[in-house]
Chains A and B, each alone.
Chain A
Amino acid sequence: MNFWNDPLKIAADWLTGILTGWGMPAVAAGILVAFLGTLLLISLLMVMDIFLVWLERKVVSRFQDRIGPNRVGPFGLIQPFADIIKLLIKEDTTPEGADRVVYNIAPMLSMMSVLILWAIVPLAPVILGVDLNVGLLYIIAAGAIGTLAIIMAGWSSNNKFATIGAFRQVAVMVSFEIPMVAMLLIPTIFAKTMGMNGIIQAQNIPYFILSPLGALIFLVAAIAELGRAPFDLSEGESELVSGFNIEYSGMKFGMFYAGELLHALTFGGFLAILFFGGYRFFGLEKVSPFLAIVIFLAKAMVGYWVIMWVRYTMMRIRIDHMLAFNWKFLTPLSFVLLMVTALMNALLAGTSVWVYSIGMFLSNVLIAWIALEIVRAYSRNEREKVEAPKVAAEAHH
């Protein structure tokens, strides 16, 4: 075993050795080393977050046929640092009548709810914070803290726009959490574990082949959970100006913004882990843990790019359409998919991998087709209801 095969453990053992050599108790040394590791991971995440600002601005400008930041440094790469300096020296205002404590805690909670998700993200087979056996439940729990942060921000701002934005955002998050949780159950059924590393290890066939519809529903629910377009009702610029974070300025606003970007990348990562094999890529992950990290981040970036692509292509939808879409279409569909997956899993148990995969894939395609046919028939029915009187009137003339 050398440093390049298991860098985290070697570094941790080395540091623990030094600290205990100084006469520190082993428990305290272990905690201190874990603390330093956490600090390192989160600091690296924050540095990556800074470049996500640049990436997002560059990508959106390409979608909108612009060039984007290109003045400060090569390709505008230094631009986010200039932005940070600006955010740091802005005045920190708390509007009159705001609930000061709640108002100031909200941006911190918002950022924290994203950062703690990375405790369970396996970057490589041996580089991971902690492999919780209830990893998927932990994702849901951490997501709930994000929802809490948003309603705290909206309510405490003493602003109508912020309050309405928070209500809407909570309605979106709460609604789309149901299909998302149902879709988290599908990798659980396949992998027979809730641990993130276990799910990746079990993916000899990536789960997007076994359950393409599941991956798609998870992506849609994730976009809604992130509060991004087309589900960004909480900050609809044309009606709510900026929604729940309207009164925030300076670094507090920066926390919401950076948290949102990192959250999107994190959900790209979860999509990669749950349905696209995480750090696995045709055995390349066994070469070096560092290569595995690169593979995982590349997959997460692809997921993030898809989320951005949807964001800058789709129009914002109305809240009643959004809620109807979730409760009347996505929730029933995801539960039907879950039940069929469970049933097929039991019926195909013991058959060869090929039969199992093809059976799963076909059942997914069939469900998607039936669901689309039902929607199509319904919309045809609705359209005829509107058009029938018109046709009758024309025939009369």
Chain B
Amino acid sequence: MNEWLYVGLFFIVGLIIPVGAIGVAWILGPKKSNPIKLTTYECGIETVGDSWVQFKAQYYIFALVFLVFDVETVFLFPWAVRLGQLGLFAVIEGIVFVAILIAGLIYTWRKGMLEWA
């Protein structure tokens, strides 16, 4: 049988179990809602201002740095699998590849983008 079909089955069963548990809880639980119960929790006081707060631009910078690294490391997996057959030349090429990445990290660092200001 195709192995990805099996992975697909895991996705389905993995969803059925929590859906079932939450469904049973929804059937068994009481349904006596009132406006006070449904208010947003904020340590007992009324919510101050908008709940969807603005986020720091810094998160965005970290996400961008992450994106570069994550995409590049995925390229390194085939390299790592075939490293034994490819010999020293491929290793040097891999090191150059990572050195370019690290240069990007150092650039970000020197620009002060890794500081949580």
A interface residue numbers (CB < 8 A to B): 30-31, 34-35, 38-39, 42-43, 46, 87-97, 104, 107-108, 111-112, 115-116, 118-119, 129-132, 134, 136-138, 140, 155, 157-161, 163-164, 167, 170-171, 174-175, 177-178, 181-182, 185, 188-189, 192-194, 241, 246-247, 250-252, 254-255, 319-320, 323-324, 327-328, 331-332, 335, 338-339, 342-343, 345-347, 349
Contact = CB atoms under 8 A, between A and B. Distances in A.
Interface string B40-83: 11110001000111011001001101100110011011001111
Contacts of A255: 18, 21-22
B42 A338 contact: no
A88 B24 contact: yes
A90 B18 contact: no
Given A43-B17, A178-B69, A346-B87, 19 more contacts: A91-B33, A92-B29, A95-B39, A107-B22, A112-B14, A137-B74, A140-B74, A159-B41, A163-B52, A178-B73, A182-B73, A188-B77, A192-B83, A193-B81, A241-B43, A251-B24, A252-B25, A327-B65, A342-B95
B35 interface: yes
Contacts of B13: 35, 38-39, 42, 115
Nearest to A250: B25
A96 B29 contact: no
B15 A112 contact: yes
Contacts of A189: 80, 83
Contact of B40 (A116, A159, A335, A346): A159
A81 B83 CA distance: 50
A140 B25 CA distance: 31
4 closest pairs, A vs B, by CB?
A320-B116, A251-B25, A115-B14, A111-B18
Contacts of A118: 10
A95 B38 contact: yes
B116 A131 contact: no
A136 B6 contact: no
**Majority secondary structure of chain B interface residues (helix, strand, loop or mixed):** helix
B66 A174 contact: yes
Contacts of B65: 327
B14 to A, nearest CB: 4
A7 B12 CA distance: 24
B33 A251 contact: no
Contacts of A339: 94-95, 98
B114 A323 contact: yes
A31 B1 contact: yes
A43 B102 CA distance: 44
A215 to B, nearest CB: 17
A174 B40 contact: no
A174 to B, nearest CB: 4
B105 to A, nearest CB: 7
Interface in B3-28: 3, 5-7, 9-15, 17-19, 21-22, 24-26, 28
Contact of A328 (B28, B33, B98, B114): B114
B37 interface: yes
Contact of B30 (A91, A116, A161, A343): A91
8 contacts: A42-B14, A89-B29, A95-B40, A96-B35, A157-B40, A164-B53, A328-B114, A343-B95
Contacts of A155: 52
Given A34-B5, A323-B62, A91 B55 contact: no
B81 A171 contact: no
Contacts of A338: 76, 98
A90 B29 contact: yes
A61 to B, nearest CB: 26
A140 B74 CA distance: 10
B18 A181 contact: no
A325 B56 CA distance: 19
A108 B73 contact: no
Contacts of B26: 92, 251
